Amino acid sequence: MEDPKIPYRYLGNSGLKVSAICLGTMTFGQDGSRPGCDEASSHALLDRFILELGGNFIDTSDVYQFGVSESIIGRWMEKHPSLRSKIILATKVWGPMDKNDVNARGLSRHHIITEVEQSLSRLRTDYIDLYQIHCWDTGTPLEETLGALNTLVQTGKVHYIGVSNVTGWQFQKIIDLSRAMGLTKIVSNQAQYNLLCRSTEWELLEVCKIEGVAMLPWSPLKGGLLTGKYKRGESPSSDSNSRLAWVEKDKATRANQASPSLSDYADNEQYWELIEAMKTIATVHDATVSQVAIAWLLAQPTVSSVVIGARTVEQLDENIGSATLTLSKEELETLNAKSRVPPPYPYEMVTRLQRGREH
């Protein structure tokens, strides 16, 4: 890891540096519910990302295949103990980990304290670099959640705290209450953000700007919709192992924000115009449409690292290529225009009335 091929960036206003590409591991482990990687393939991805390309940022969650993803990472870590201090390991807590235990979910002190020990055991490490709440929890007082997370930092089991999948007002309340209580500050927000999900900019990105928090986009390719591999009127092959094909096989129960449906965009003219613009830009740079999508994210304010998922080394290498792809101002403006979604009230009105008031 002496000569990284992936540039490093600070994680928000913290002193921690992470690779501009973060290896997301939701694909690690095969439970039959969706396309994934077996352990050998997962370890090959970690070898390539960390040992050969110089990446240092890995993201997982306790709920990914009910701990299997964390366990696969832990067994790889055990084979490379000297690398532990060089790797920034992130995981999350919230999801249901025992269907027969009503307390094995959410953000109560009980679940957080219990589950961090399980994550540490599966990851075969003494500490977690970035511990993130995986969603807001309506059932638990925020003071209880933040107090529990602060305890983990004080005991050294966690080094930094982040959030994921929260609304704008929830995000700001978390930050404000942490500050008022004198607790560990929030350093990152992992949220869906891509050229087909621009609503993240309306509040979440603005809070990140104001508070110095890192934005960590997940689903940069919108589940495959931003790869440019599909043509108008074409459906993913029924025997394909892609996520889009998996969704289409049972769209009624599988389609959601994390797993979108290609057929939902079949008649969306703006989508197809965006893809054509991305193809044109990719040709200029001798790049791929996927690389253009990720490079656009890396050019956005407060983005410290983009969380990518891969099932093969080839997919990983393609995504890594975006880290050194620089788009021109004109190209960025073209992508912004082609993907822009008219903001609803009050965002449109507030933004319009602020013109000329910027510092």
Q: How far is CA 292 from CA 23, 160, 286, 308, in A?
A: 18, 30, 10, 13
CA-based angle 287:291:296, to the nearest 5?
120
**Regions of the chain short of the pLDDT cut 50:** 1-2
- CATH number for the region 8-225+290-326 comes to 3.20.20.100
Judge whether 186 and 178 are in contact, CB under 8 Å: yes
Percent of the chain with pLDDT over 90: 85
Q: In this predicted structure, what is the pLDDT of residue 337?
A: 98
Judge whether 147 and 109 are in contact, CB under 8 Å: yes
- Annotated active-site residue 64? The verdict is yes
Distance CA 296, CA 336 (A): 9
Q: Please tell me which residue in 64, 131, 193, 271 is annotated as part of the active site.
A: 64
Q: In this predicted structure, what is the pLDDT of residue 255?
A: 75
Neighbours of 206 (CB within 10 A): 18
Strand partners, 192: 218
Q: In this predicted structure, what is the pLDDT of residue 263?
A: 86
Hey, is 30 helix, strand or coil? coil
Neighbours of 24 (CB within 10 A): 25
Q: In this predicted structure, what is the pLDDT of residue 2?
A: 46
Distance CA 348, CA 340 (A): 12
